[in-house]
Structure 1
Amino acid sequence: MAIIFQEEKKIFTLHTKQTTYQFKVDCYGFLIHLYYGKKIQGEMDYLLTFADRGFSGNPYDTGLDRTYSMDALPQEYPCMGNGDYRSSALVVQNENGTYSCDLRYKGYKIVDGKYALPGLPAVYAAAKEAQTLEIYLEDPVTKIRAVLLYGILPEDDIITRSVRIENAGSQKIYVRKAASAVLDFLYGNYDMISFYGRHAMERNFQRVPVAHGSQMIGSRRGTSSHQYNPAVIFAEENATEESGSCYGMVFVYSGGFQAEAEKDQFNQTRVVMGMESGTFCYPLEEGETLVVPETVLTYSAKGLEKLSHNYHRCFRRHLCRGKYRDEVRPVLINSWEAAYFDFTGETILKLADEAAKLGIEMVVLDDGWFGKRDDDNSGLGDWYVNEEKLGCSLGELARKVNEKGLKFGLWIEPEMISEDSDLYRSHPDWVFQIPGRSPVRARNQLVLDFSRKEVRDEVFEQISKVLDHANVEYIKWDMNRSISDVYSIAAREQGMVLYNYVLGVYEFLEKLMNRYPDILIEGCSGGGGRFDAGMLYYTPQIWCSDNTDAVDRTEIQYGTSFIYPVSAVGSHVSACPNHQTGRTVSLHTRGVTAMAGTFGYELDPGTLTEAEKEEVKEQVRTYHTYGKLIQTGDYYRLSNPAKDETAAWAFVSEDKREALLNAVMLKVHGNMTVNYIRMRGLDPEAFYREEKTGKCYSGGALMEAGYPLPVESGEYLAYQIHFIQE
């Protein structure tokens, strides 16, 4: 059993293969957190201590006992209004304007299988793979209820958390803040690891000590954003890749979020993950419910590496869905950097001709195929094919591409609209725009109100007409701006619009998946602006960044790897000089870097030399050879590209019989020293043969002493070394 309830002490224990999570119901009905960490046996309530804490208040129930305070006790779901002045998971404004909530235990239920969330993405599992615990809390005065949901996947060392907030009272309430997970640590010094960035330089690794006060990352942009990713890790201050305690929290949501860390007056640390609260004000009338998006928790006693592996396996097997979940994705070429908006149907067919000769399997027609769309100032919202520009129907173009032996893919941006479009001229009230104010433009486009069903249905009907008449086997779903001017004429109240907008996006994607189950959908938001676990539920891969520079990508992909599996990372070889940075890097180095993801190309192959074309053919063959290992093998970060002279990483099969070492030299000096790359994840007792040279190495030696990279002259040289167990 993954879930155990000790009736006498009212202690709940959640066990996974290597971890234990424990909390209790105390004598006053409060839910007190006891422990989360390495698997243990026994009851951890002995850790609780009680003292008169001065200005920390006491619940009225405790009478004259000044030693009991919610301001000092570790809690499972803290709310504002019961004497706890630390960061709250739940803030409720009552109809009379007061902020008060006092949740007390009412009961529980244990069921086999993993809970699902209506309208929201969530980790899934078969009944035999998971258990669900439901904890029922209620405010005795207002009758506000909170149903805490715990999903336990024992074999994956994963615990998920979500919450249903129900208004069972007679008065209207406003939910002003809602988190799905809290971790309270009684002691210890932790570092907060987060992933910050900007457009074209996403998910940079940042590690800072948790100090007294409150530290927060989040997004107010309506999407999870380029600026901060909705994932955090809390690591012991001395934790490394291979050792130390680490706790992960990943929010399965594609809208605004906030993650908070607070070290309090007693050196206790609280971390909270949930909805962005600055613009959130969700009304609940009597009988209504708000579902808080899920947070995925995992713990590792063996450092960051094990934590990453837990997330990679969980997301590959229990979050991504569809035909392509477990398949190596087709090698594609995208038309964007090859032609931008300047193309015709003949341009795309020429691209297909060149791609077919190189062994590439799919051609993707990017932006500019619809409406009046020859630049990014018009046409969004008019999802009908510009046959004059293509010189044929889209169905005919797709058929001609298919006849060349390639699949055909298409770019769309359903959530956006241009003012210069037929749809805007017909329905100017369908955009986010505050009455009496001019809207903020971004990329000269506005945002459609996807919280409204009629808006979603119209766009879905337009796009479906296109897909029904062309053999499209891949869709790139883009979203190229942050959201502002949030106002919906159809909303009961404006504080609920952004949440309902995200649910609208999810509904659209679900309909798309159901109607076209054989289409591979890749998420995108100006590259990695919506690279989150919520999107992975619908799109098993996401364009990692608009920055295709191989050197920058080593850092971007490094940060991404802490949470997200390689199978989710859209990564392409692009032209040089690179269109974003102007940097020139060899085709070989670009290929090695791009193979740390779903491999493809972002260039015009007609501009390549014959030697370069032969090299591309070899890259495609190489990816097909190692594709399964890359997609499903354990991923090891062997260096930090932001600090080290090399960017090095490896893929190791789960049975440890095969490994692929990859390295890019980032710095070269006169009279260069040797870089030794220490492998990880091999069998220390086995011997491994290096494929190209035939040399054999002890697994233990490769891990302890390392593998010496050649000392060669040249900028950004790259190496790809394949080992097979003897």
Structure 2
Amino acid sequence: MRRPSLPAWAWVALAAHALFVADARAAARFDAATRVFRLDGERVTYAFGINEAGQLQSLHWGGRLADGDPLGPAKSLPSHSSFDLSASITPQEFPAQGGGVFTEVALKVAYADGNRDTVLRYVSHTLERDAVTVRLRDIALPLEVSLRYTIDPGTGVIGRSARIENLGRTPLRIDQAASAAYTLAPQDDYRLHHLSGRWAGEWSLQQRPVSEGASVLESRRGSTGQQNTPWFAIDRGGSSGEDSGPVWFGALAWSGSWRISIDKDPLGAVRVVGGYNPYDFAYRLAPGERLDTPVFYAGYSDGGMGGASRLLHRFERERILPGGGKPRLRPVLYNSWEATEFAVDEAGQMALAEKAARIGVERFVVDDGWFGARNSDKAGLGDWSVNRAKFPNGLKPLIDKVHGLGMEFGLWVEPEMVNPDSDLYRAHPDWVLNFPERPRTPARNQLVLNLARRDVRDHVLQVLDALVTDNDIQFLKWDYNRNWSEPGWPQLAPEDQPKVYVEYVRNLYWILGELRRKHPKLEIESCSGGGGRIDLGIMALTDQVWPSDNTDPFDRLSMQDGFSHAYAPAAMMAWVTDSPNWVNRRETSLDYRFLSSMQGALGIGANLNHWRDADFATAARMVAAYKQVRATVQQGDLYRLISPANGSPRSATLSVSPDRRQAVLFAFLHSQSKGMQEPAIRLRGLDPRQRYRIARLGGGALPEAMPAEASGAYWMEHGLAVPMRGDFQASGFVFEAK
């Protein structure tokens, strides 16, 4: 049978269309007839096409569309006026500076001949089941950009990044490089949500209308920073809330200086561009060299802010955190810092270990002060050898003691820093970030090692590898207690020195990766004076994160609420410390402190030497209760039932296990006024047809008139009246399916 006479391109189009239809289950597809790429995952569709100008043009990002729904062909928008040209208002997937683009660009390049104009056009693509890579090239110059798109079939979370390559014979300079540009179609009620803060005051949720004039979220600090978090969410003021409505969200996987800009273009479309921060940035590409950007993840939910965060938590647990999709439950941890500060020694730590084991702690961590000449924060940082005055026989006797008590052993380290008063700095003063003949600005009496240097990188890995190899250590609390200053790299040519912003973080990731490869059972916590380095980049290489140095249990409620919008409780450490708390001198009961901390990965940092027998009994009871529910708390679905924001007198969260057979309610009354009784708390996420028994978390009788059993429908529709009177009161309840 002869086939009909058709041009070759038509046969290619028909074959590609047949593949598109036949492989409808694939998450990533391309329709050659319309030149449209489509990625589908869970309840999300992301689509973009190649328009007649060869640009990649955004077509749809939102709820999942049916197979066969019309999505193309893409067609560039006509110029709105001589001031707003087509290239500027057409929603390009990766706009470069050139060709009349005035909106925020994803790429800005300067060439050797002085040209600063880049116009990218489609060249080819490679399709995989859950990913697509699209190659773009400048219309005349030897510059190529490969855009990588992935989609997680289970959550619909998109991952986007770019590879920028110099195919020419002369160097070029990248002045701005983003990972992606996302576009939302014009609407008049978009709201931006983001997280801001400062040391001891992280994770404050902010909200503002998306309007003309860019909102810029960024860190210029060389690390993620506490001031802003590389996460955003956009919902619609007229239809979105905590439990329902559309929400678009994103998080950048980068632990260095970063920027996310959110702006309306002249026609009302919202552009979200994120990647390297262009502040003080320049990356010179020699012929044949390339620059890879970090991944900018983004997702969509029609379940409000709560649905968006639960989706993101699931993605983080399954795709980001170590563990191959099954991150280990966080052990109950004790840290000795508040008990001893720098005055650590073998006998004192052994005594604390005995007390920690008594209450059910599973991991004992010695904090700062165990190494070098470290009797304060003024000396010894960088000298990672055991202080023999404090530990005459090394760490082995203490480690053996801790293991004999049934606990894992961990140490605090700060490998990226050095005190000027240290053996390391005296031997290698050139190893820190610096500009020659300029002052070196200390912070916390320390300077930043230039991890971008290969010799510094290798030294840091060597000392950490030796530390873990020579001692039976299961855990490192990896701290980072200052931001950059004088970000010079004098060993490089002046035009290459700004590469430090990229190479430093790449080498940090390399050290963490190599350390984990050499010691696969080692676990690591990311800490930076609290929450100064938490992002999806560092979380892929560490098992838990430290959200804040502020351990005030009341302050932590609002900080944990903010944190939960972007990051999963599976990684969030929360400590029980002493009362009154050092931050605000606020006094709270031990039960209140435990219930506040039990909403994440539980830790204890109080000075156990000051505890009474009643305190140990309470702690042992609460630790045992936590172990019964921690799988649900850390890896279940989180529902923010009542927010502590905006001066709310109460707050409540509910964690529900994936099979919906267990749920844990944490309820807090911050301040009672005029004898008012608080309304019942309506639960979420239960199986309405299942019957649940209720018990008080940590034991004890249920309040009078509280039913001991009811259906999921009852708990969600009728609610639970939690009687609490006074200030800083807390209650916890466990719901178990029959």
> Normalising to structure 1: TM-score of the pair?
0.94
Residues of 2 paired with 1:442 and 1:174: CA distance?
32
User: 1:446-595 maps to which residues of 2 (within 5 A)?
Assistant: 446-492=447-493, 493-595=496-598
Q: Identify the residue that residue 3 of structure 2 maps to in structure 1.
A: none
2:44 paired residue among 19, 35, 47: 19
2:80 paired residue among 38, 47, 53: 53
CA deviation vs aligned residue, 1:325-359 (integer Å, no higher than 9, x gap): 53222211101111111221111001011112222
CA deviation vs aligned residue, 1:279-310 (integer Å, no higher than 9, x gap): 21111111101000001111011211121111
Indicate conservation of the 8 Å contact 2:244/2:307, yes or no: no
Q: Identify the residue that residue 368 of structure 1 maps to in structure 2.
A: 369
CA deviation vs aligned residue, 1:200-225 (integer Å, no higher than 9, x gap): 11111001111111110100000010
- The code of the aligned residue for 2:50 comes to V
Q: Identify the residue that residue 102 of structure 2 maps to in structure 1.
A: 85
Q: Identify the residue that residue 213 of structure 1 maps to in structure 2.
A: 213
Residues 544-553 or 485-494, more deviating: 485-494
**1:718 corresponds to 2:719:** no
Residues of 1 paired with 2:540 and 2:694: CA distance?
38
- The code of the aligned residue for 1:668 comes to Q
Q: Identify the residue that residue 657 of structure 2 maps to in structure 1.
A: 653
User: 1:348-367 maps to which residues of 2 (within 5 A)?
Assistant: 348-367=349-368
Indicate conservation of the 8 Å contact 1:396/1:470, yes or no: no
1:7 paired residue among 22, 27, 32: 32
Q: Identify the residue that residue 184 of structure 1 maps to in structure 2.
A: 183
Residues of 2 paired with 1:308 and 1:329: CA distance?
20
Indicate conservation of the 8 Å contact 1:555/1:642, yes or no: yes
- The code of the aligned residue for 1:201 comes to G
Residues 640-649 or 324-333, more deviating: 324-333
User: 1:48-197 maps to which residues of 2 (within 5 A)?
Assistant: 50-56=77-83, 69-112=86-129, 131-188=130-187, 189-197=189-197
What secondary structure does 1:224 align onto? coil
**1:636 corresponds to 2:604:** no
**Offset at 1:51?**
4.3
**Offset at 1:156?**
1.9
Q: 1:40 to 1:322 in 2, by over 3 A?
A: closer
Residues 459-468 or 383-392, more deviating: 459-468
Residues of 2 paired with 1:223 and 1:325: CA distance?
28
Q: Identify the residue that residue 713 of structure 2 maps to in structure 1.
A: 700
Indicate conservation of the 8 Å contact 1:381/1:459, yes or no: no
Indicate conservation of the 8 Å contact 2:159/2:298, yes or no: yes
Indicate conservation of the 8 Å contact 1:687/1:696, yes or no: yes
Aligned length: 697
CA deviation vs aligned residue, 1:152-172 (integer Å, no higher than 9, x gap): 111222111111011112221
Indicate conservation of the 8 Å contact 2:218/2:257, yes or no: yes
Indicate conservation of the 8 Å contact 1:640/1:647, yes or no: yes
User: 1:671-686 maps to which residues of 2 (within 5 A)?
Assistant: 671-686=675-690
Residues of 2 paired with 1:491 and 1:719: CA distance?
59
Indicate conservation of the 8 Å contact 1:90/1:179, yes or no: yes
Residues of 2 paired with 1:655 and 1:502: CA distance?
39
Residues of 2 paired with 1:506 and 1:100: CA distance?
33
Indicate conservation of the 8 Å contact 2:185/2:270, yes or no: yes
Q: 1:71 to 1:169 in 2, by over 3 A?
A: same
Q: 1:491 to 1:668 in 2, by over 3 A?
A: farther
Indicate conservation of the 8 Å contact 1:323/1:518, yes or no: no
Q: Identify the residue that residue 125 of structure 1 maps to in structure 2.
A: none
- The code of the aligned residue for 2:245 comes to G
**1:204 corresponds to 2:217:** no
**Offset at 1:234?**
1.2
Q: Identify the residue that residue 121 of structure 1 maps to in structure 2.
A: none
Indicate conservation of the 8 Å contact 2:52/2:74, yes or no: no
CA deviation vs aligned residue, 1:435-472 (integer Å, no higher than 9, x gap): 11111211110000100111121222223222222111
Indicate conservation of the 8 Å contact 1:282/1:496, yes or no: yes
User: 1:202-241 maps to which residues of 2 (within 5 A)?
Assistant: 202-238=202-238, 239-241=240-242
Residues of 2 paired with 1:136 and 1:642: CA distance?
46
Q: Identify the residue that residue 66 of structure 1 maps to in structure 2.
A: none
Residues of 1 paired with 2:173 and 2:282: CA distance?
6
Residues 40-49 or 512-521, more deviating: 40-49
**Offset at 1:4?**
1.8
Q: Identify the residue that residue 128 of structure 1 maps to in structure 2.
A: none
Residues of 2 paired with 1:488 and 1:306: CA distance?
45
User: 1:25-36 maps to which residues of 2 (within 5 A)?
Assistant: 25-36=50-61
Residues of 2 paired with 1:197 and 1:431: CA distance?
28
Residues of 2 paired with 1:277 and 1:443: CA distance?
28
**1:607 corresponds to 2:621:** no
**Offset at 1:385?**
0.6
Indicate conservation of the 8 Å contact 2:332/2:363, yes or no: yes
- The code of the aligned residue for 1:725 comes to A
Residues of 2 paired with 1:646 and 1:467: CA distance?
45
Q: 1:51 to 1:30 in 2, by over 3 A?
A: closer
- The code of the aligned residue for 1:144 comes to L
Q: 1:49 to 1:513 in 2, by over 3 A?
A: closer
CA deviation vs aligned residue, 1:341-383 (integer Å, no higher than 9, x gap): 1221111001011112222122100001111011101111111
CA deviation vs aligned residue, 1:235-284 (integer Å, no higher than 9, x gap): 11231111111111110111111111111222221111111111211111
Residues of 2 paired with 1:149 and 1:494: CA distance?
28
**Offset at 1:52?**
4.5
Indicate conservation of the 8 Å contact 2:386/2:394, yes or no: yes
Q: Identify the residue that residue 13 of structure 2 maps to in structure 1.
A: none
Q: Identify the residue that residue 278 of structure 2 maps to in structure 1.
A: 277
**Offset at 1:596?**
1.3
- The code of the aligned residue for 1:72 comes to I
RMSD (Å), alpha carbons = 1.6
What secondary structure does 2:338 align onto? helix
**Offset at 1:97?**
2.9
Q: Identify the residue that residue 709 of structure 1 maps to in structure 2.
A: 722
Q: Identify the residue that residue 403 of structure 2 maps to in structure 1.
A: 402
Residues of 2 paired with 1:154 and 1:404: CA distance?
44
**Offset at 1:710?**
0.2
**Offset at 1:323?**
8.8
User: 1:610-621 maps to which residues of 2 (within 5 A)?
Assistant: 610-621=613-624
Q: Identify the residue that residue 20 of structure 2 maps to in structure 1.
A: none
Q: Identify the residue that residue 687 of structure 1 maps to in structure 2.
A: 691
Q: Identify the residue that residue 118 of structure 1 maps to in structure 2.
A: none
**Offset at 1:722?**
0.8
Residues of 1 paired with 2:442 and 2:71: CA distance?
55
**Offset at 1:423?**
0.5
Indicate conservation of the 8 Å contact 2:669/2:724, yes or no: no
**Offset at 1:699?**
1.9
Residues of 2 paired with 1:514 and 1:72: CA distance?
47
Indicate conservation of the 8 Å contact 2:660/2:687, yes or no: yes
Gaps of 5+ in 1: 59-68, 113-130
Gaps of 5+ in 2: 1-25, 697-701
- The code of the aligned residue for 2:186 comes to Y
**Offset at 1:389?**
1.6
Indicate conservation of the 8 Å contact 1:74/1:185, yes or no: no
User: 1:406-445 maps to which residues of 2 (within 5 A)?
Assistant: 406-445=407-446
**Offset at 1:57?**
5.8
- The code of the aligned residue for 2:338 comes to E
**Offset at 1:136?**
0.5
